[in-house]
Structure 1
Amino acid sequence: MAGGAAAPRALVALDADGAADKINLMPQDFFAELCEQIIQHLNHKFPGVNTAELCQRMQTSGIEINVGDLEKIANIISFLFSTAARNGLSTEELVTTLGNAVSTLPKHAVQVIRHVWNERGKSISVSEDARSMATVGQFVDIKWKLGVAVSSDSCRSLKYPYVTVMLKVVDPSGQITDKSFEMTIPQFQNFFRQFKEMAAVLETV
């Protein structure tokens, strides 16, 4: 089996980090949704895996799991799928590897992985370009709003206008994260000027 050495490494991490125990807490539908998002991300159809949103929904349903644990599970399953794709594993080879490497993985998780890989696994293409891009975070969305400072480290006086910028970024592991920061009006104007300069350069390419 071509992926016999690489795939168990992900599964050993799954066992050693206690992630298999956390998967036990996840109902089948939530685990299936996570696996589906991972597959879609690997197929470049989703910008990333939104573990924060999924975690919030799970917690609302009464499931005790934190976003760090969910990110750990997502990273390991993502590595498992991408390694299996790179090594051309069939569904049965992947399931055999799962069974041999981790005895603590719940039955419903193995069933989900089998189903998702059987339905979607062949569509994953792990190209060199995709692998090199995966080392850099990717921008997804930007929002901004104008406000008035009540208290701020960068604004000396109250009632001073400021701009809050909210970015949605996919980190190298494929997780969607939200970043936000405040700027004074002069800082925002400089920020805007730099974007205009970038746009002007891009028009000449």
Structure 2
Amino acid sequence: MLYLQCKIPGVNTLELVERLQAAGVELDFEATKELVHVISLFFRTAAQNNMSTEELIAKLADSNSKWSKQMLQVIRHVWTEQGKLITTPEDAKHMLTVGQLVDLKWKLGMAVSSDSCRSLNHPYVTMMLKVANPSGEIISRSFEMTIPQFQNFSKQFREVATVLEMV
């Protein structure tokens, strides 16, 4: 719900898997990821259609899926408490569908030996990015650059920041 209320940039599925497993729920990463997508879709659709709690529960109960009474009670509770805080349908139409940068880390390294290369001794920069894709899933990516590539990247990043400050 925090993601749908635009309070967090995405859902950290790996953290959610760990929390579920700590609570005794055995779901693997892929199943948890699909569950997040399905529930987000239900709540987003309900918000866009201004559905009441009873309408949402009736639609879910009538669907082909087999919803238990407990699951429907949880959805009823969450929708009643938090459903009104989801972005309005008008806001949802104007939202960008691009990923959002959540975290950026970098570190400087130097390779000094290798079985396949004779002379390394060149520094490199490792970039680690966390990006929330449009569905809310947080994805981690990393890549390496030479020092000149990193300097160019840094320059371009500063230019983007300057342009964004003007907007």
Q: TM-score range by the shorter chain?
A: 0.7 to 0.9
More strand, by proportion: 2
Q: Compute the RMSD of aligned alpha carbons.
A: 2.6
1:130-141 equivalent positions in 2, closer than 5 A: 130-141=92-103
* 1:115 matched to 2:108: no
2:112, 2:67 → 1: CA distance?
A: 51
1:38-49 equivalent positions in 2, closer than 5 A: 39-49=1-11
Q: Percent identity?
A: 57
By how many angstroms is 1:148 displaced? 2.1
More helix, by proportion: 1
Aligned to 1:75, what secondary structure does the other structure show? helix
Q: How big is each residue's C-alpha offset from its partner over 1:4-40, in whole Å with a ceiling of 9 and x where there is no partner?
A: xxxxxxxxxxxxxxxxxxxxxxxxxxxxxxxxxxx11
What TM-score results when the alignment is normalised by the length of structure 2? Answer: 0.83
* 1:124 matched to 2:86: yes
Residue equivalent to 1:21? none
1:119, 1:200 → 2: CA distance?
A: 40
* 1:168 matched to 2:130: yes
1:149-188 equivalent positions in 2, closer than 5 A: 149=111, 157-188=119-150
By how many angstroms is 1:79 displaced? 0.9
Q: How big is each residue's C-alpha offset from its partner over 1:92-126, in whole Å with a ceiling of 9 and x where there is no partner?
A: 11111111114522333222111100101112233
> Which amino acid counterpart does residue 171 of structure 1 have in structure 2?
N
* 1:196 matched to 2:158: yes
Q: 1:170 to 1:131 in 2, by over 3 A?
A: farther
Q: How many residues align?
A: 165
Check conservation: 1:164, 1:182, Cα contact below 8 A.
Answer: yes
2:161, 2:50 → 1: CA distance?
A: 41
Check conservation: 1:82, 1:126, Cα contact below 8 A.
Answer: no
